[in-house]
Amino acid sequence: MDKKAKKRIELLNKRLQKLRQQIAGVRQQLDEPEELARLEAEIGAAEAEIVQLKAS
């Protein structure tokens, strides 16, 4: 893994942390169920990219 991949993984981990906090807030209010689905999709995409970067 090169420096660029490590930096991208670090950035994605920070984004995942922020998204998980947002999901916790959305679950408490549940005003917009589509927002919860969107956030979960973003988390899935970020996790998939991390796996792809670690594999390369």
> According to the model, what pLDDT value does residue 6 have?
94
Written as six digits, the tokens of 20 are: 């998980």
43 lies in which domain range? 3-55
pLDDT digits (tens, 9 = 90+) for 16-39: 999 999 999 998 988 888 999 999
Residue 56 vs residue 49, higher pLDDT: 49
How is residue 31 annotated by DSSP?
S
- Residue 56 — pLDDT band, cuts 50, 70, 90? confident
Average pLDDT of the residues of the chain = 93
Looking at the structure of the chain, the number of domains it has is 1
pLDDT above 80 (res 1): no
- Exposure string of 26-38, with b = 16+ CB inside 10 Å and e = fewer, is beeeeeeeeebee
pLDDT at 7: 96
